[in-house]
Amino acid sequence: MGYQNSFKVFLCLSVIFLFSMKIMVLEKYFEKINFTAFSIHTTKPIRKGAHYWFSQTNKHANKNITLPNCTLPPDLGPYNIQLNVPLDNEFKNERMSFGGHNKPENCIALQKIAIVIPFRNRESHLKIWLHNMHPFLQKQQADYGIYVIEQHGNLPFNRAKLLNIGYKEALKEYDYNCFIFSDVDIIPMDQRNLYRCSTNPKHMAHALDKFNFRLLYATLFGGVVAFTKEQFLKVNGFSNLFWGWGGEDDDLYKRVITAGMQIERMNNIISKTKAIPHKRDPGNEDNPKSTGFQHVATRNGEPLLEKAARRMYTDGLNSLNYTFIRVMKHRLYTKVLVDIGKPENIEQ
């Protein structure tokens, strides 16, 4: 081989070497900035985009590789919540987005989790929640999507109805089998607090910092709860009739017991939870006729909570009606804007 030929071979080998180095470096780069990599995989966020997104983001999707089931990492522990979240690009570019879906790349998660958040005018809390919860959920190897259900207009707020809507809207995108209904201002303080469903409906916000990490009362079932699809269908979802603050969570508790299930809670250390302090929102005043601690919201004079067991089969998922306005695929979450109407006793 002459001098010129060996130079050509050398040149070819160098090009191949440099090219493969470049691929390796790029791969490492995208692995590191997991969130930014969202924008690499999907170019067109679409309504039924979750299926598309999930198949695209699995590295092994087209390679016939059987992935093992996911296991929890051994180093789960206390979680350092950040409340001062910078206004970074993540949020500036949120419209170039993929709905806040994520799943582990190298293993199969058994639960497909929809996290549903009732929402109106709480942008600052949402920003903090997302900033802390994406890394938290990814650390727990979760296959999940974030659904923020926003109530349109200024009429009284209806948290429970929004959560029912979130259940229905999430199922239009992906075959979720676990639903976590979470307030926008509640964040777990320990990674061992598993954002997962269990054999019974699970209460995950029972050890709040604002209540000194103690369960306030035995039937408390607010803040964050987890239901499998079957469990949620069994109770016919939440009541749609609680407008304003309070009562809907106690009603859900009664449904669970009536359906023959129990509430599960993990221990108080693991379940330590931060509730971001805030004032009462306009449009979310106490339900009418609250008597002291226990809310007695009424409908045509009938105390709702007293008849919770009887009402549950006619008031809930099977009686839910609302007007879908639009869905917005933000990068870190899917927002669904809905018109949920008004309480029966308001003439407007």
Q: Among Mn ion, ligand UDH, none, what does residue 284 contact (CB within 5–8 Å per kind)? A: ligand UDH
Q: Convert 194-224 to b/e letters by CB count within 10 Å (16 or more is b).
A: bbbbbebbbbbbbbbeeeeeeeeeeebbbbb
Stretch that binds Mn ion, among 17-25, 78-86, 185-193, 340-348 (CB under 5 A): 185-193
Binding positions for ligand UDH, 169-188, rule CB under 6 A: 183-185
159 binds ligand UDH (CB under 6 A): yes
Measured CA to CA, the distance from residue 20 to residue 111 in angstroms comes to 36
- Sole binder of ligand UDH in the list 44, 88, 279, 291 (CB under 6 A): 279
- Sole binder of ligand UDH in the list 113, 117, 189, 263 (CB under 6 A): 117
Q: Among Mn ion, ligand UDH, none, what does residue 54 contact (CB within 5–8 Å per kind)? A: none
DSSP of 222-239: -SEEEEEHHHHHHTTSS-
- Closest to Mn ion by CB, 42 vs 273, is 273
Measured CA to CA, the distance from residue 23 to residue 26 in angstroms comes to 5
Q: With CB under 6 A as the rule, give the number of residues binding ligand UDH.
A: 17
C-alpha dihedral over 92, 94, 96, 99, to 10 degrees? 170
284 binds ligand UDH (CB under 6 A): yes
Tokens of 323: 């007007």
CA 292 to chain centre: 32
Residues 41 and 53: beta-carbon distance below 8 Å: yes
Stretch that binds ligand UDH, among 112-120, 130-138, 250-258, 332-340 (CB under 6 A): 112-120
161 binds ligand UDH (CB under 6 A): no
Closest distance of CB 276 from ligand UDH, Å: 8
Measured CA to CA, the distance from residue 57 to residue 42 in angstroms comes to 8
Stretch that binds ligand UDH, among 256-264, 274-282, 300-308, 321-329 (CB under 6 A): 274-282
